[in-house]
Structure formats: structure tokens, C-alpha cells
Structure 1
């Protein structure tokens, strides 16, 4: 295992062309058909940090830090309390340049949340968006499958609403903050169709927020439920599959994330699936087609467009997760991986037609999984993934040897619609995991320390990125102290699972 030295400073890590029994909570992804009608208010007082604009010149570089699991703590600091036990995080940035992150502690464990007001250099731990539910009733305080969204326009307080969704034992919880994460209003019935899994959330305007999710009590339909009152009620539900593609719902799809273009109000739901209705009876066909469901009427109806269909039915893009992002000009980017390489396609006509896929990852990232993206100004795109130099052409990442060292990789293209191959790539972190990485969700039988996804966002005020990711390494540095129970002997196991951030400190940004 690797121990990183601590000298009391905030270490900048930069890797350009170099590389050298999991403890799982079985409730983490559980869901049920029981729903609960309840609204709660959680209140905490916090003091934001003064805004400091990060530099934008020089080559790409990132600095890494741990995050605290206790509300009211700002990290990094020298107090040894910047640790947590959360995993599978998400991150977004509002138009004022504030970053918001969330990460899960598993069902019944609640959700952690953070805010940065200085470009991602420091993060304040917020009160959990859903913790009060446990004190008020006998049901779950949620904590599974978290995602996060921010409004595109300010509310009456002059701030941008922040929304956190989390899978609960009863439903999909949606928590709304209208004051920068200081207080949360919780709606525990964010899904109109009960029996849900893997919720995603997106927002636009001052008060519209939509949640997408699998309905596992049906046939794995993907529903999109929207609220026009900042999450107070969710009265509108649409099916992501149009009449010509209902066969995708017959357990023939893997859900991806949800995005909304605030300029035209179009809603985009990404997914992978089979390519034709005839393939629904094929026992050996992989999810070799990438799809985007497009709604031009605010989520009432959707039209399904094929982004890319691999001619080989043995290929599958049904790995966590197909990802979609939209830039300020309305260009759409869909990111996907085949368990080996990572690709993106783009559309300049709202998802009707698509470019041929372009491979993003290059050596030393010979394997690339768990992609995420964020788009900025026209044609400007950041992509992240978990990558390793290991690839033998035979084994899936689940069966990789302990010699496979995984990093968080970052790639940037400032001409993504005109020069698709123009990516700059680097490893943004030290090693975060060794060995196999399971991609089967709750069905995993191998190592699942990295869980299913992570995220990246870019500040509209600086253009610089902040990445939030999972890490199972024993670090124990001044900026990343080890949590209780995480030791050098338990490194690379679930006992050391935690959420970290890597923030861009130099290099080009993707805004304006």
C-alpha cells in the first residue's frame, strides 16, 4: 500500500505521463415501494469563506484535500478533522462560482454535503440535507445514490437554489436549500412512481427541478418527474421512452444522468441499451447502443435518439454511467466507456444528429471507467474518469490484479465541436485504489470501494474545475487525515473509503 508523506503543506500533485475484502453496506442501494408524506426543515448557521479567485495561467495542475464529515468544519486545516466515510460523490457549481458537493453514507446513513466559496480551495461541511428525517420518524434518513443540482437563476434571496437527491428506503428524497446550504427543506416523495433506483437531478430557472430514476417495480422504465416550485411538490411525470422505443423499458437499458439546457429548457436523459426491438430476446447482446432521450416540452414527452450504435453486439456501454452535459451554446456531449476506452460524441442540433465517437483517454490511462463531464463556453469540455495503465485485453476491471494502480484522470478540450481529438490529459490525483474495480452496482461480487460514479464541475467565474471522488487509500497527511478505523493495514479496503476533492489551480478554464 502507498503512504503519502505529510509536511504540513497542501500538496500539489501532477501526473502527466507517469504511473508506475471490501466492507459493503447491503442497504446502500435498497429501495422499496413505501412512500412518506413529510416536509422538514433543517437549520444550521455557517459562515462562508471569502472568495479568492484562482489563477488561470500556466499548465494544468491540481491540488488535493480531504473533506470533513462533521458540519461546520472547513477543510483543509491543521486540526486533523478533515476526514469522512462517504463515497460515490457529486459536485456542481452555481453561476456565482460557488461549488457544492454531496456524497453518500449508504441507506439509513444520510448524505454529506459541502460548499466552497473560494474556487474549490476550501470546503465547508454543511448540515446533512436529509439527516433530520431519522429524528422525526422511524424511516430512513436516506443516504443512497446521491446527486446534486443548482438553479440557473437566483431566487428571491438573490441566491441560487441547491438541490440534493438521495435514494431512501421509502422513495427518492429531494432536499432544497434557498440560502446556500445553510438550511434544507426536505421532500421525501421526489419520485411519483415508487420502487426506485439510481436517481439523478437537474435544475433550471429559479425554481424548476427534475428528478429521473429507474422504476424497478415496473420494467426498468426511466421516469422524469419535475417540480416547478423548488421541490415542494413533484406534479409532472414523463416517460423517457417514446412510443417507438418502449422496448427499451423491458429491462433493456442502463440509466445515465439528467441535464437541462437553461437557454431553451430542453431536458436530456442519457442511457445505454440494446439497439432494436428484436434484440430484446437476444440473450448474448450487450447494451451496445448509446441513447439520448430529448424533451422539448419541459419533460412532458421525450423523443429517443441513438447517439452511437456499435455494430458488435458483444460490446456494452452499460457501465456506470453514460454521461451528458450541455455547453452555453446548446451543444450536447455524451460520454461513454466500453470497459476499456472512453469516448465522446457531440451534437450541435439538440440531439437529433451526432458526431462519430472520439476516444478521449490516452496512454498511460489504458483503461478508463466511470466517466463524468462538465461543459462550459461554446465547445469547451472537461472530462474525468478513473484510469489505470493496466490492460491485458482479456479481463474486465473487476478482475484486474493488485498491480493495477488507479488515478483520477482529467482531460480538457477547448475545441470539442471542431477539433475532437484536441484533448490535454493528466492524472489529477495520487493513487486512489489498487486492483479490481467492480462496475455491477449492488450486484458486485468483487471490490466496490470506488462505488459507481464521481464528478467534476467548473466555476463560471474562473473556468477552473473541482473534482470530487472516492478514495480507499490510507493517506493520513495534514490535509487528508485518516478516519478512525482506516490504518495502513486496512488501506485499499472499504474501511478506508472516503471522499476527497481535487481542485484545478492553474491552466486553461472552460468559461467563458
Structure 2
């Protein structure tokens, strides 16, 4: 897909969240291409399509079978230009996965990464929250490992494919601490993969568990909270995604939380602080840095989800939403200091939620989110009227560390 293509099917108001989520996967696939060069026309355009829930089907097609029941998708691109996506069918519903080898124009539905579920309508203990990662170096097959994590009833499943998603090797014990929720996954090199997750049994502590053998074993676990910030546990945080910089091997865990230890007893304080936990020793230990603390304790950034990405020069970007506007901050010193937040969304996206980002070359940043023109200043997006029309929005800044306001925004 090129940046100058016209939109064939503008995204209309959708009555179901899962349909919007899966269409979003097609939109995001432009990001790695768009980061290579600026659009010559000054605008970006997208083609949208549904994805099939049955293995072996390629979409789009004219057979009427490009649909599914999955939600909350994840997508990644490997260095060879292949795209991989995954999405959840809910606990015991199994995980769906897709692959594109033509720049996002077509997606093949793969066999489920959960070995007990060869199709989306079969039983699997997994199928809860999902995320996906790709290796930064090739394996012995000359391909990039693909990793999918999925929340199960008792643990975190991690599935590894060394052959481009054709087959999967499942490890049903990707988490070393029991009672898990909302796993995220990141990878680097040819065989290192790390999973982060909430441990409900440890009062919502955030743990990062790493494997150095492509997911066969997860022998190393680190706590994302350092000794000075252990108070962020105790159900005082909301986990964001995990990222690894393959250049220096630093691991970054994003989250939102309260701002001080004193606020842990506050009964009406929101998660008004954005944090980044940084590990410089491969995930053994972490140091926590405040990205931004809103002076208003009534604000909360703990809504699906704080997002972190790293560009090729090592610059870090944090994206977060207050259920109204979408903001980003950047760091050029590995997360130690941060820029002031800059609002990303513009009219007609008066509400912007559920962000995701991809960073490319130095200063090049793409962000997608769900947006609507509706905003009444009273209700949360969960309680917006059905008349609120939701779209997928895409914004790009090719000078994100020097010209923060220089975003181009389009709706798909």
C-alpha cells in the first residue's frame, strides 16, 4: 500500500467494537511504509478491509468471508517487511493471527497460536488479552521469530513461530508469578523475548519475565517498580505496553499511576501520573521515571493504554489519553528526562482513546487511535450515545523530537 492510494471504503459508524478493532489492523499497516518518506501529496489515504476468522483464508476477497469476532488487535512488522497481527476472542475462545507479505494489501489468516485452538470457534484455555512481537534478528531458518502472548485462565500463554506463522510452539507458563492480567510482549535479537503483566495476587505489581531461548523457558523475572516506588503496586497503577531497544538492549515498561506515596490513601485520586520503568541490565532491575504528572488529581490516564515506542536513534515516545485528548512526550536520554506533553488529536477527533504508536527513523512517529467528534465533557467514552460515530485516526510527525506540533492527521 502506498501513501497516495485513495480510500476505497471509508470507515463508517460501526455498532460493534470488534469490527472497528479489526479494521484498525489494516490501517496501522501503512505505518512502517509511511515512516520511510513523507507523503508527496501532503495527505495520507488508506484502504480498509475486514479479516477472516478461519485459517487459510486471504482477505480482502469477493467471497464474503472476511469477518471475525475478535477484539483488541496487535500488529507488528519484521525487518523483511512482513506484517503480523493477532487478536483475542476472549478467555477460552483462543487467539486469531494473520500475516501479510505484500505490505498490508492482503492478510492470510494463520492457524491459531494457541495449540488447543486451530480455529476461532474451538476451545482454548487462552484467548484473553493478547499482544504480538517480532525478533530484530533472523533465526537459523533465516526468518524472524514471531511471538504471541495471550491471557489464559491460569497463566500467560506465549506462542513462538520460527517459520513465519505457519506453525507455533506453545509455552503455557510464560508468567512466573501467578494470578496474571493484561500481558504485553517485546522481543530483540534472534531469540530474546520478554513478557510483562500485572500480578493480581501481588496487589497489581508489574513483573517482566524474560526468555533467552525464544520462549522455551522464562527463567528471569524483574519487578518494574524500584525500591523507591514500590507504593505504585497496591492497585495504584494501570499497565501499558512493553518495548525493547535492540540497539542498546534497554527495556521500557510504560504505565500510569498515582504520583506520590501519600496518594495511595486518596480515595478520589485518578492515575494522573505517567511513568516509564527503565531497565539497563536486560530486565533484572528497573528504575522508575515520571514522564508527566498532571497537577489535577481528578485526571486519569489509566484507560487502555499508555503506549511506548522507540525510534532507530533511541528516542522514546510515550502516548497517553485522558479520555478526551491524546498527548505524547518524548525523551532523548533513555527516559531520564521528558518533554512537556503535546496534544496530538485535532478536530474532528474531539475524543481520542485507545492509542498505539510506531517509531521509525530518528524523530519519525506514527500514532493511531479511535476518535469521534462527540464530546460532552460529562460522560466517559464508555457511556457515549450510540449516535457517536467512531473512526480510526492516524497521525504522523516526521520531526517528533524537534517540532512536536507537526502532525498530519487523517481519518480512515
TM-score scaled by structure 2? Answer: 0.89
Conserved in 2, the CA contact under 8 Å of 1:177 and 1:184?
Answer: yes
Cα distance change of structure 1 residues 115 and 137 upon mapping to structure 2, 3 Å threshold: closer
Q: Any idea what the Cα deviations from partners look like across 1:110-165, whole Å, max 9, x if unmatched?
A: 10100000000000010000042699999943111010000000000000000000
Conserved in 2, the CA contact under 8 Å of 1:38 and 1:187?
Answer: no
Q: Any idea what the Cα deviations from partners look like across 1:147-193, whole Å, max 9, x if unmatched?
A: 00000000000000000000001210000000000010000000000
Conserved in 1, the CA contact under 8 Å of 2:13 and 2:390?
Answer: no
Conserved in 2, the CA contact under 8 Å of 1:32 and 1:171?
Answer: no
Cα distance change of structure 1 residues 77 and 329 upon mapping to structure 2, 3 Å threshold: same
Cα distance change of structure 1 residues 400 and 136 upon mapping to structure 2, 3 Å threshold: closer
Q: Distance in 2 between matches of 1:394 and 1:41?
A: 30
With a CA cutoff of 8 Å and minimum separation of 6, indicate the structure with the bigger relative contact order: 1
- Greater mean deviation of Cα atoms: 76-85 or 176-185: 76-85
SS at match of 1:280: helix
Alignment of 1:292-331 (within 5 A): 292-331=276-315
Q: Any idea what the Cα deviations from partners look like across 1:427-454, whole Å, max 9, x if unmatched?
A: xxxxxxxxxxxxxxxxxxxxxxxxxxxx
Conserved in 2, the CA contact under 8 Å of 1:40 and 1:185?
Answer: no
Q: Distance in 2 between matches of 1:325 and 1:44?
A: 14
Cα distance change of structure 1 residues 34 and 368 upon mapping to structure 2, 3 Å threshold: closer
Cα distance change of structure 1 residues 123 and 305 upon mapping to structure 2, 3 Å threshold: same
SS at match of 2:22: coil
Unpaired segments ≥5 residues, structure 1: 1-16, 426-509
SS at match of 1:64: coil
Per the TM alignment, residue 47 of structure 1 is displaced from its structure 2 partner at its CA by 25
CA RMSD of aligned residues (A): 8.2
Q: Distance in 2 between matches of 1:195 and 1:24?
A: 45
Cα distance change of structure 1 residues 50 and 202 upon mapping to structure 2, 3 Å threshold: closer
SS at match of 2:382: helix
Q: Any idea what the Cα deviations from partners look like across 1:252-309, whole Å, max 9, x if unmatched?
A: 0000000000000000000000000000001011100000000000000000000000
- Structure 1 runs, 4 residues or longer, greater than 3 Å off: 17-58, 133-141
| Rg larger for | 1
TM-score scaled by structure 1? Answer: 0.72
Per the TM alignment, residue 59 of structure 1 is displaced from its structure 2 partner at its CA by 2.6
Per the TM alignment, residue 29 of structure 1 is displaced from its structure 2 partner at its CA by 26
Unpaired segments ≥5 residues, structure 2: none
Q: How many residues align structurally?
A: 412
Q: Distance in 1 between matches of 2:113 and 2:237?
A: 30
Conserved in 2, the CA contact under 8 Å of 1:32 and 1:196?
Answer: no
Q: Distance in 2 between matches of 1:46 and 1:24?
A: 15
Cα distance change of structure 1 residues 47 and 55 upon mapping to structure 2, 3 Å threshold: closer
Q: Distance in 2 between matches of 1:419 and 1:76?
A: 38
Cα distance change of structure 1 residues 178 and 346 upon mapping to structure 2, 3 Å threshold: same
- Greater mean deviation of Cα atoms: 22-31 or 79-88: 22-31
